[in-house]
C-alpha cells in the first residue's frame, strides 16, 4: 500500500524529537534476523515475529479507543501488510518503527472512518494530516514511544532467568501486581529475601535494556 | 530525556514507572493465530510468473554451402546459419550435421544474456560470458529453442534439425 512508503521518514522525525530510550539489540534474535529468515521462507521466524509484536500492535488501536474487535482487525491488517512487503523493507532493523507507524496509520483510518471525518485522497495528504495530529491525541508520538519502550521492557524480561522474570513481573506488571509475601511463596524463599532479589533483578533488567 | 543520561536510580525508577503503567494486553488468540497462518497460506500459493517471453523473428536463413549475399561462394559455411532478431538482441545459430546427429552452435548478441540458460527441447546448457553456447549430438527433429536470463526469455519455435 502506498500509504507507508514515506512513513519511515515521518517516524524518523518523531524519533528525533522523542528518542526511544532503550535499544532492542539485547533481544535473542534481532528483528533484522527474523525478517531475513522470513524472507527465506522460515515459518518459525514469522511466528516469532507475530508473538513479539502482537501485543504492541494490538495496544495502539486499543489506546485510541477502538474496540477489541476493531483492534484485532488492525492487528491482522498490519501483519498482512508486513507479509506482503517483506521483500521491500529497506531497513529490517527498524521494523519496530515500521510496525508502530503502520498500526498508527490503520488506527487513524479506522477512527476517522468511524467519526465520518474527511478522508485524504493522496498519500502526501494523509502523511501531512498524520504529522499534524495534536500531541494530546491518544496516538501522539510520545504515547507511541512509551508503548514501544514498554514493549522493549517486556521483551527484555523474556530474556531474564525465570526467577528474576517472575519476581519483576509479579511486583511491577499491572496485570499481576503481587505483595512480597505472595512472591516469596511463589518462588520458595523467605519474604525478607525478596527486596534484595528484586533490586538485583532490576539491575539486570536495566543492563539488558542498555545493551 | 534519554535513559542513558540518567543515573542508575533514575533509570531504574523510569523502568518501574513504565512497567507499572503498562496496560497492554495480548491480542485475542484467534487474531494471533490468523496472523501466523498468513505465512503458511500465502507461501503455499503458487507465485505468478513474471517471465517476459518473446518470440524471435527470423531475419536470415542460409543453407549449407550457400554464401550470404555479397560473400564469395568459397566462404560459404558447411552449416546452416540463421539469424533471429528480438528487440535489441539478435540470436545467431549455426546447425551442423554430424554423422548421426546435429551440433548446434549459437550466440546471443546484445546485452543482458551473458551466462544465460539455453534449452533445446530437453537438452540444456549455459552460455558463456559472450553469450556463446553449444549443444552437441542432438537427434533430428523439431524443437523449441529457449534462451533465458533472469526474467526474460527468448523463444524460437519449431526449429527444424534435419
CB atoms within 10 A of CB A55: 20
Higher pLDDT, residue B67 or A45: A45
pLDDT of residue A24: 42
Report yes or no: A59 at the B interface, CB cutoff 8 Å.
yes
Higher pLDDT, residue B151 or A103: A103
Tell me the pTM: 0.56
Query: CA of B15 to nearest chain A CA: how many angstroms apart?
Result: 8
Contact (CB<8Å) B26/A54: yes
Interface test with A, best of B12, B15, B17, B44 (most A CBs within 10 A): B15
| ipTM of the complex in this document | 0.73
pLDDT of residue A54: 94
Higher pLDDT, residue B149 or B63: B149
Report yes or no: A209 at the B interface, CB cutoff 8 Å.
yes
Please check the confidence at residue B97 and state whether its pLDDT lies above 70.
Answer: yes
**Mean pLDDT over each residue of chain A, to the nearest integer:** 79
> In which band, very low, low, confident or very high, does the pLDDT at B90 lie, cut at 50, 70 and 90?
confident
Please check the confidence at residue B22 and state whether its pLDDT lies above 50.
Answer: yes
- Residue entry with cell 533490586: A199
Contact (CB<8Å) A21/B4: yes
- Residue entry with cell 494523509: A126
Query: CA of B160 to nearest chain A CA: how many angstroms apart?
Result: 42
pLDDT of residue A1: 34
Task: Write the CB contacts of B85 (distance below 8 Å, at least 6 apart in sequence).
Answer: B56, B57, B59, B91
> In which band, very low, low, confident or very high, does the pLDDT at A9 lie, cut at 50, 70 and 90?
very low
Query: CA of B45 to nearest chain A CA: how many angstroms apart?
Result: 13
Please check the confidence at residue A6 and state whether its pLDDT lies above 50.
Answer: no
Q: What is the mean pLDDT of residues A120-145?
A: 64
> In which band, very low, low, confident or very high, does the pLDDT at B50 lie, cut at 50, 70 and 90?
low
Report yes or no: A42 at the B interface, CB cutoff 8 Å.
no
Question: Mind listing the pLDDT tens digit for each residue in B127-143?
Answer: 998 899 999 999 999 99
pLDDT of residue A43: 92
b/e burial code for range A132-161 (CB count within 10 A of at least 16 → b):
eeeeeebbbbebbbbbbbbbbbbbbbebbe
Question: Mind listing the pLDDT tens digit for each residue in A149-167?
Answer: 889 999 899 889 999 999 9
CB-nearest partner of B43 from A41, A57, A174: A41
- Residue entry with cell 501485543: A55
CB-nearest partner of A19 from B2, B15, B28: B2
pLDDT of residue A175: 65
CB-nearest partner of B27 from A75, A175, A205: A75
Chain B residues with CB-CB distance to A177 below 8 A: 20
Q: What is the mean pLDDT of residues A47-67?
A: 91
Please check the confidence at residue A13 and state whether its pLDDT lies above 50.
Answer: no
Amino acid at each position: 500500500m502506498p500509504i507507508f512508503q514515506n512513513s519511515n521518514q515521518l517516524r524518523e522525525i518523531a524519533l528525533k524529537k522523542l528518542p526511544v530510550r532503550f535499544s532492542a539489540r539485547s533481544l535473542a534474535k534481532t528483528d533484522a534476523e527474523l525478517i531475513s529468515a522470513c524472507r527465506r521462507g522460515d515459518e518459525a521466524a514469522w511466528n516469532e515475529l507475530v508473538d513479539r509484536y502482537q501485543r504492541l500492535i494490538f495496544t495502539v488501536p486499543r489506546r485510541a479507543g477502538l474496540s477489541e474487535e476493531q483492534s484485532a482487525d488492525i492487528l491482522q491488517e498490519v501483519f498482512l501488510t508486513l507479509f506482503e512487503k517483506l521483500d521491500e523493507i529497506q531497513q529490517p532493523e527498524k521494523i519496530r518503527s515500521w510496525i508502530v507507524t503502520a498500526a498508527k496509520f490503520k488506527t487513524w483510518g479506522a477512527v476517522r472512518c468511524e467519526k465520518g471525518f474527511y478522508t485524504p485522497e493522496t498519500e502526501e495528504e494523509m502523511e501531512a494530516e498524520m504529522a499534524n495530529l495534536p500531541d494530546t491525541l491518544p496516538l501522539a508520538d510520545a504515547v507511541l514511544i512509551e508503548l514501544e519502550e514498554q514493549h522493549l521492557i517486556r521483551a527484555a524480561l523474556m530474556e531474564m532467568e525465570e526467577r528474576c522474570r517472575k519476581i519483576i513481573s509479579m511486583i511491577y506488571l499491572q496485570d499481576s501486581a503481587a505483595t512480597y509475601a505472595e512472591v516469596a511463596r511463589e518462588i520458595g524463599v523467605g519474604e525478607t529475601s525478596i527486596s534484595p532479589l528484586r533490586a538485583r533483578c532490576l539491575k539486570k533488567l536495566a543492563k539488558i535494556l542498555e545493551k | 530525556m534519554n535513559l542513558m543520561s540518567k543515573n542508575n536510580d533514575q533509570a531504574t525508577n523510569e523502568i518501574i514507572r513504565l512497567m507499572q503503567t503498562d496496560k497492554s494486553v495480548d491480542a485475542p488468540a484467534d487474531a494471533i493465530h490468523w496472523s501466523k497462518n498468513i505465512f503458511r497460506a500465502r507461501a503455499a500459493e503458487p507465485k505468478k510468473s513474471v517471465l517476459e517471453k518473446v518470440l524471435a523473428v527470423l531475419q536470415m536463413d542460409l543453407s549449407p554451402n550457400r554464401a550470404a549475399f555479397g560473400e564469395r561462394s568459397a566462404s560459404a559455411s558447411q552449416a546452416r546459419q540463421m539469424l533471429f532478431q528480438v528487440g535489441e538482441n539478435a540470436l545467431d545459430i549455426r546447425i551442423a550435421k554430424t554423422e548421426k546427429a546435429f551440433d548446434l552452435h549459437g550466440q546471443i548478441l546484445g546485452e543482458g544474456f551473458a551466462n544465460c540458460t539455453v534449452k533445446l527441447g530437453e537438452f540444456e546448457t549455459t552460455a558463456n560470458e559472450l553469450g556463446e553456447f553449444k549443444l552437441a549430438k542432438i537427434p533430428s527433429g523439431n524443437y523449441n529453442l529457449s534462451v533465458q536470463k533472469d526474467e526474460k526469455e527468448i523463444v524460437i519455435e519449431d526449429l527444424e534439425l534435419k
